[in-house]
Amino acid sequence: MDFVSDSLVNGRRLKCLTVADDFGHECVDIATDYGISGQYVTRLLDQAAVFRGYPSAIRTDNGPEFTSRAFMAWAQSHGIRHILIEPGRPMQNGYIESFNGKFRDECLNEHWFETLPQARAVIAAWRQDYNEVRPHSSCHRMPPAKFAALHRQHAADAKQPATNEFL
């Protein structure tokens, strides 16, 4: 997870929380608002966990949202290992840094947002294209959502006991 900043045409600052899965390269969420606190982050992660379950680990920088009491208590209560990168070493969280660069170049730098709802709609459409349409070489030339779905299916199949039927 990491943050990317932008602004509306009137100069009001926007903050985008980008959440990406290092394994499947799927963009889990991009929350966009005027401000995002540690408690806001935990609510978003709880929403994502409804479908995905809770991760075993989360890697972040040392920003105040990720070192807040709310976030630290949340991670501990769910048994999530919180991996803090070393200050000034963004490449220790290289995938999200690369993802944020694509997000800035392809979405934020291409649009002038007039309102928060407009920004959210454009960003949601970009995220959907990123996850569901665009093939990624690291996902065997599949879109990340398809790769993730196949991985979940294989994991579920592996948990099923083998049955032998004799006729």
Give me the domains of the chain, ranges plus CATH numbers: 2-159 (3.30.420.10)
| Segment 94-108, tens digit of pLDDT | 889 999 999 999 999
Any idea which residue has 């993802």 for tokens? Answer: 99
Predicted confidence at residue 165, as pLDDT, reads 53
Residue 82: φ, ψ to 5°: -100, 115
Burial group, residue 72, by CB count within 10 angstroms (0-12, 13-18, 19+): middle
Per-residue confidence band for 67, with pLDDT thresholds at 50, 70 and 90: very high
How much is the pLDDT for 34? 98
DSSP E strand boundaries for 53-137: 57-60, 81-84
pLDDT band (50, 70, 90) for residue 110: very high
The model carries a pTM of 0.86
- 29 C-beta neighbours (distance < 10 Å), count: 17
Q: What are 83's strand-pairing partners?
A: 59
pLDDT digit string, tens, across residues 123-141: 999 999 999 988 877 767 8
pLDDT, position 161: 61
Query: Who contacts 35 (Cβ-Cβ below 8 Å, separation ≥6)?
Result: 15
Q: What is the token pair recorded at 121?
A: 């709609």
| Count, residues in the chain | 167
